[in-house]
Structure 1
Amino acid sequence: MPSPINLNLNYENPIKIAEGIYWVGFCDEESGLHCNPYLIVDGDEAVVIDGGSRPDFPTVMTKILKTGTDPSDIRALIYHHYDPDLCGSVSDYEDIIERDDLRIMSTLENNFFIRHYGPSSALVDIAEYNDRFTFSSGRTLAFIRTPYAHSAGSFITYDELSGVVFTSDLFGSYGREWELFIIFDDLCKNCTPSDPCPHDKPYCPMDDILTFHKMIMPSGKALRHAAKQILGTPAGMAAPQHGSVIPVEGDFRTIGSRLLSLADVGIDRIVKEEGDT
């Protein structure tokens, strides 16, 4: 059953998910892999998180403009890893933002690859800023490393003001049934997904999340370390780059605990070490 939080949402417009934070993504009903760029606005300053692919750029930038944000207000583009669904439009952003001091922020390991998208702005290693970005108001974004989840330089971003953690591929999902917000009922939180559903539900979002992590994350060890980093924050909402926003803290922490114990992740599905069953 759709959550009431999804009623009357117009996906043609930006959608505010928290204080100063907007989803500016593209709702593609034909795709199972939904990508979620986010805009954070603080006064007359803004940053874009995981800005999106080049084909999606006109849609994303139109939504940014609809928030009332002038492109020249965007001080930084933050990229959690280097895949084209995040970084493909970086040059398009530069062309419209037109700031000499625009920063493209990621980790050193990611910047080795982001440079191949042809950006002209400074590629900044987040370590140079002590893994933080601070607006003029004092609002702070904390960057938390999640190596090999799924790239060597992967990290996530925690907004200390809103309590939103931007989790990149972590806590994401793949599935043709999609809504921007997802809320789990008690029957689904600890259920073992199976076909058919033991509760006679037509769709299992938990299965989509767990299967996505098995396919995308390279190993259970990398996933467990990353999940611990996220669960170690005081976040109340998870905003992944794929799938749906998880607005209820209890839900996202339940999912986190399931990821900690998830078996057969990545290479672990294929190669068994001696002694493994």
Structure 2
Amino acid sequence: MDILGINIDYDRPVKLADSVYWVGFADTEGRLQCNPYLIVDGDEAVLIDGGSRPDFSTVMRKVLQTGVTPRQISHLIYQHYDPDLCGSIPNLESIIGSPDLRIVSHAENNPFIRHYAPCSPLLCIDRMERRLTLRSGRTLRFFRTPYAHSAGSFITYDEATGILFTSDLFGSAGAFNYWKLFAEMEQCCQGCQINKPAMPDEPCEVTEAPCPWSGMHHFHRRIMPGNAQLRHAMTVVESVGARMVAPQHGSILHRTADIKAAIDALKAMDDIGIDGMSSGRWGKL
């Protein structure tokens, strides 16, 4: 599929691969683009990082546009506990209306997720052998990425399509004027500004467009707690060998060359979180 050749209608679900959809809200006013994802497997569906309460109506409308009925959703996966992922849990539970619905996260996240008042059982990925097998046999595998950025953070790999859903990892933030669902990095300088980044909306020296690597850098150094945690997470991602990386914020990386370049660039950062602050690189304690 020629992803960049598609004329994308952001008012509808966007197909990423066979049976996998972006069902997010294209934010024309804010600067933090959020990306929920839906996996459809026969008569069963799984929603990943389902979104905030204000975005619920948009997300559910797009779920319905895929042909899925709410009751087909068997699992809600939350890769950490922030409100931009979990805020719509009561809305989703209400419209799904199934006693068999399960919420999947990690034990470190679940005490916080309970504050969203879920009715469904909260499962821990460690007690599931870090995998979810759907009725068809399709398997989603979970990989721990602790403190990137919460203690219970993890990422989800769909074996059927090779898509890795990475939550905040590989995320970026910037003005909507420059946001695209699929990252266009073929002509980019491949991370040359990571070590001396421009601001996220300043143009790249090569493409004269806002630098996607710079936006990624600024996002990670504020969201992630430190260098070691991010590097460990990148090592985990590298071990998976995904063909597509779908973060909860920013743009999807759909070329293996871009995924490798992003991993290398993020591993090389030395001013993440408290490490950047303590060194005086981007703020004072």
Q: TM-score range by the shorter chain?
A: over 0.9
Of residues 273, 276, 284, the one that matches 1:269 is: 276
Q: Are the equivalent residues in 2 in contact too, given 1:104–1:121 (CA < 8 A)?
A: yes
- 2:95 maps to 96
**Counterparts of 1:104 and 1:267, CA distance in 2:** 32
Secondary structure of 1:232's aligned partner? helix
Which stretch of the first structure deviates more once superposed, 208-217 or 195-204? 195-204
- 2:206 maps to 199
- 1:251 maps to 258
Asked whether 1:182 is paired with 2:189, we answer: no
Identity %: 53
AA in 2 matched with 1:252: I
AA in 2 matched with 1:184: M
User: Residue 78 of structure 1: CA displacement?
Assistant: 0.2
AA in 1 matched with 2:146: P
- 2:237 maps to 230
**Counterparts of 2:13 and 2:204, CA distance in 1:** 34
Q: Kindly report which structure 2 residues correspond to 1:213-228, keeping only aligned pairs within 5 A, or say none.
A: 213-228=220-235
User: Residue 183 of structure 1: CA displacement?
Assistant: 2.3
1:111-167 residue CA offsets vs partner (Å, 9 max, x unmatched): 010000000110111112111011111110000000000000000001111000000
| Structure 2: runs of 5 or more not aligned | 281-285
**Counterparts of 1:33 and 1:215, CA distance in 2:** 13
**Counterparts of 2:40 and 2:152, CA distance in 1:** 26
**Counterparts of 2:273 and 2:254, CA distance in 1:** 27
AA in 2 matched with 1:68: G
| Structure 1: runs of 5 or more not aligned | none
User: Residue 186 of structure 1: CA displacement?
Assistant: 4.4
Secondary structure of 1:228's aligned partner? helix
Secondary structure of 2:251's aligned partner? coil
Of residues 199, 209, 216, the one that matches 1:209 is: 216
The two structures have a TM-score, normalised by structure 1, of 0.94
AA in 2 matched with 1:267: I
**Counterparts of 1:85 and 1:6, CA distance in 2:** 30
Secondary structure of 1:148's aligned partner? coil
Q: Are the equivalent residues in 2 in contact too, given 1:37–1:50 (CA < 8 A)?
A: yes
User: Residue 19 of structure 1: CA displacement?
Assistant: 1.6
- 2:158 maps to 159
**Counterparts of 1:138 and 1:179, CA distance in 2:** 33
Q: Are the equivalent residues in 1 in contact too, given 2:173–2:216 (CA < 8 A)?
A: yes
AA in 2 matched with 1:116: H
Which stretch of the first structure deviates more once superposed, 53-62 or 263-272? 263-272
Which stretch of the first structure deviates more once superposed, 200-209 or 138-147? 200-209
Q: Are the equivalent residues in 2 in contact too, given 1:183–1:248 (CA < 8 A)?
A: no
1:195-236 residue CA offsets vs partner (Å, 9 max, x unmatched): 664326131111001111111100000000001101111211
**Counterparts of 1:200 and 1:146, CA distance in 2:** 33
Secondary structure of 2:165's aligned partner? strand
- 2:40 maps to 41
Aligned residues: 271
**Counterparts of 1:54 and 1:233, CA distance in 2:** 32
**Counterparts of 2:121 and 2:70, CA distance in 1:** 17
Q: Are the equivalent residues in 2 in contact too, given 1:6–1:180 (CA < 8 A)?
A: no
User: Residue 272 of structure 1: CA displacement?
Assistant: 4.2
- 2:70 maps to 71
Moved >6 Å (runs of 4+): none
- 2:22 maps to 23
